Amino acid sequence: MVKVPSESQRLFERARKVLPGGVNSPVRAFRAVGGNPRFMFSASGAHLTDVDGNTYIDYIGSWGPMILGHTHHEVTEAIIRAAERGTSYGAPSKNEVELAELIVERVPACEMVRFVNSGTEATMSAIRLARAATGRDLIVKFAGGYHGHADSFLIQAGSGVATFGTPDSPGVTVGTAKDTRVIEYNDINAVTELFESEGDLIAGLIVEGVPGNIGVVPHESGFLEFLRQICLKYGTLLIFDEVMSGFRVHEAGAQGLYGIAPDLSTFGKIIGGGLPVGAYCGRRDLMEMIAPNGPVYQAGTLSGNPLAMAAGLTTLRLLNEEAYAKLDISGAAIQQGIEQIALNINMSLTVQRVGSMLTLFFTDQSVKNYSDAKACDHARFAAFFQGMLNDGIHLPPSGFEAWFVSIAHSPSDIELTLAAVERQLKQLS
Ligand code: KE4
C-alpha cells in the first residue's frame, strides 16, 4: 500500500493554478480514472518514485519512449556527454546525421529523414507533404486513430456511416474538417466505398502502424496489405504513423513486422530516448520536396537537437534482436498471466497485445475498432486502475491506452504485477 500522496496533492493544487488542468498533457490529469495524479520525483529501470516516496512498477513508460527502462546508464551518459559539449547549436551536428543514417539503415521504406520535435510535428508535416506531392486535399484517418493534435487530425467521425469529418475540438474550423475523412479500422468495405467515391481526391491515408490509442487493436490480417494496394490503385500516399509502434514492435517498426512499405512514415517517442523528438521519413522523391531542397516548407528551432539525437542514437543501438525477443517474452508473460487469472476467477476480459504493448479491456468480446473500445467497461477499468495504483503498479490512466513493457521489467516485476492484478480483479469480481 502506498502512503497518502500528500505532497502530490499539494503540488497538484499549485499546478492547477498555473497549468490548465494542472498538467501539460490532458491524459496525465487522471480524468478518465478519477483521483489526482501522482507527481513523480525520479525513475529508474522499471520503477517510478513519486514525491511522497512511493515507488511503482511503471507501465506508462513515458507513453512509449522508455523501452530500455528509465535512466539506462548508457543513455544517461550519452545525454551528459552531449550536454557538456553544448545543448543546442542551431547548426547541423554529427549526431543528427548518424541517427538519420541508422533509421534509413533499419527501415527500408525510409530513404530520407527530417527530424522535428514531436510526433505531432511529424504527422502534420507528413500530410502537408502528401498534399503537396499529390496536389490533392483530402486526408483519410481512422476513428480513434490518434496522430497528435494538429487540426487536420482533431476530427471526429461523422454521424452514422458518413465519412465527412466534423471538428473534434473547438478551434478546429469546419474548413479544415472538410478535408478529413474518418472511417472505422478494419472495415475494408468502408475504405473501398470511400475510395470509389473520392479516391482521386485523397492525398494521403494515415494509419497507426499498430493502433495503440484506442487501446491496442491489432490490424485484422490482410488489412494493411489492402490499404497498401488501394492507395497504389488511386495514387494516394500511404502514411504509417509509427510514433508509438516505431522501434517498439520490431527493429523496423510495424512496417518491418508486417512487411509493408508505406510511402511516408512518422516516428517519435523511442527515437528520442525520452527527449523531445519526432521524425517523418519516406521515399526520396517525396522527401526531396522538403525545404530547402524543394518547395514544401517545414522548419524547427530545436529540430535535430544534439542531446535528443544522442539519447535516440544510444537507445536504438541497444535495441537488437535479443532485446525484442526479451520484450516479447515479457509482454506475453503479462498477457498470459492476466488471462489465466481471469479464467481462474471466471471474469470476462480481453487482453490484446503486439510485442511489448498491450491493453486489458473489460469486455468479453475482441476489440476491433473504436466503437468496440468505447463499449468496454471503462468504469471498471477506473476502479481497477486505482486499485493497482494503491498496490504499487502505475498503469496508463485510461482504458484507451497501451501498457508499455520495457527491457528493465524483471521477472520479479512481472510476478508482483500479476499478484496485484489477481488481488484487484478479485476485488472487482
Ligand atoms: P506527440 O505530439 O505527443 O509527441 O505525438 C503524437 C502522437 C502521434 N502518433 C501516435 C500514434 C501517438 O501515439 C502520438 C502520441 N501518443 C500519446 C499516447 N496515447 C501521447 C500521450 C499524451 O498525449 O500525453
Digit-coded pLDDT (tens) for 125-146: 999 999 999 999 999 999 999 9
Task: Give the length of the chain.
Answer: 429
User: CA-CA distance, 28 to 38, in Å (whole number)?
Assistant: 9
Q: Which residue minimizes the CA distance to atom 1 of ligand 1?
A: 119
Same domain, 285 and 257: yes
Q: Is the CB of 159 under 6 A from ligand 1?
A: no
Pocket test for ligand 1, best of 214, 244, 370 (most atoms within 8 A of CB): 244
Catalytic site residues? 146, 241, 269
Q: What is the pLDDT of residue 162?
A: 67
Q: Does 51 share its domain with 115?
A: no
Indicate the burial class of 306 (C-beta count within 10 angstroms; 0-12, 13-18, 19 or more).
buried
Q: What are phi and psi of 309, to 5 degrees?
A: -65, -40
The domain in which residue 192 lies consists of 73-318
Q: Give the whole-number percent of the chain exceeding pLDDT 70.
A: 97
Q: Is the CB of 125 under 6 A from ligand 1?
A: no
* 259 located within any domain: yes
Residues forming beta bridges with residue 112, ordered by sequence position:
282
Amino acid at 123: T
Q: Whole-model pTM?
A: 0.97
| Residues sharing a CB contact under 8 Å with residue 103, sequence separation 6 or more, in sequence order | 110, 113, 267, 271, 279, 281, 316
Q: Look at the chain and report how many structural domains it folds into.
A: 2
Distance 268 CA to ligand 1 centre (A): 8
pLDDT of residue 8: 96
Question: Which of 318, 333, 351 is at the close of a domain?
Answer: 318
Are residues 136 and 268 both part of a single domain? Answer: yes
144-166: pLDDT as tens digits: 999 999 999 999 877 666 677 78
Query: Ligand 1 pocket check: which of 213, 358, 404 to mutate, most ligand atoms within 8 Å of Cβ?
Result: 213
Q: In what order do the strands lie in the sheet containing 47-50?
A: 40-44, 47-50, 55-58, 393-394
Is the beta carbon of 301 within 6 A of some atom in ligand 1? Answer: no
- Both 308 and 185 in one domain: the answer is yes
Report the C-alpha gap between 309 and 82 in whole angstroms: 9
The last residue of a domain, from among 288, 303, 318: 318
Atom of ligand 1 nearest to the CA of 28: 24
The reply to whether 96 and 197 lie within a common domain is: yes
Listed as ranges, residues in the chain with pLDDT below 50 are none
Q: Which three cell numbers stand for residue 277?
A: 523528438
Residue 118 Cβ inside 6 Å of ligand 1? The answer reads yes
Residues 280, 329 within the same domain: no
Residues 46 and 137 in one domain: no
Last residue of a domain, one of 275, 295, 318: 318
What pLDDT shows up at residue 164? 72
